[in-house]
Amino acid sequence: MPNRPQPAFPEPNTQEYWEGVKAGELRYQTCNDCSNVVFTPRRHCDRCGGTNLATKVSKGEGEVYTYSVVRQSGMPGFREMGAYTVAYVDLDEGFRVLTSVVGAADPTKDIKIGDRVKVEFEKQDSGDYPIPVFRQV
């Protein structure tokens, strides 16, 4: 597996999210004041500004909203991957995540907008935290 960048702690906004990833969970937040779904992790609601947030666990299922194929990358941790996708996935719980769709034989032809996908946690050669990626279902 690749060696993608790892989070650096302490990081009060995202540490709970990354601990969830380590446990095989895709966590998100909801605002107890206005019911807004909050993602990416933060300490306040981006709709009402409230700090009364609840952490929930996503089923990890959704659909590809849009994507792009990176054909070359000179960045360490990505160079050895060859062509790969960078995608926005709309999760069924109502939030969008920037991620990668993995497992396609040819990412330039085999991934389509609207494809149903499910989260997987890609272990890294080094580091404690897997990376959440999505696979077509």
Q: How many residues does the chain have?
A: 137
Tell me the per-residue pLDDT of 99-129, one tens digit each, with 9 for 90 and over: 999 999 999 999 999 999 999 999 988 888 9
**Nearest of 106, 133, 137 to residue 1 by alpha carbon:** 133
Q: Are residues 67 and 50 part of one domain?
A: no
- pLDDT value, residue 16: 93
41 touches 29 (CB < 8 A)? yes
- Asked whether the predicted pLDDT for residue 68 surpasses 90, the reply is yes
For residue 73, the enclosing domain spans 60-137
Position 1 in a domain:
no
Residue that terminates a domain, selected from 27, 42, 57: 57
Give the mean pLDDT of 65-79: 82
**The CATH number of the domain where 124 resides is what?**
2.40.50
Average pLDDT on 59-78 reads: 87
**81 and 131 fall within a common domain:** yes
On whether both 66 and 130 belong to a single domain, the answer is yes
Report how far residue 37's alpha carbon sits from residue 22's, in angstroms, rounded to the nearest whole number: 22
Q: Are residues 53 and 64 in the same domain?
A: no
pLDDT-derived band of residue 130, with 50, 70 and 90 as boundaries? very high
The average pLDDT across 83-104 equals 95
Specify the number of domains making up the chain: 2
Task: Check residue 73 and give its pLDDT.
Answer: 72
**14 and 64 together in one domain:** no
Assign 115 to helix, strand or coil. coil
The residue out of 40, 57, 74 marking a domain boundary is: 57
Q: What average pLDDT does the segment 47-62 reach?
A: 98
Q: Is the peptide bond before 40 cis (omega within 30 degrees of 0)?
A: yes
C-alpha angle 129-132-133 in degrees, rounded to nearest 5: 140
Residues 35 and 50 placed together within one structural domain of the fold = yes
* CA–centroid distance for 136 within its chain: 14
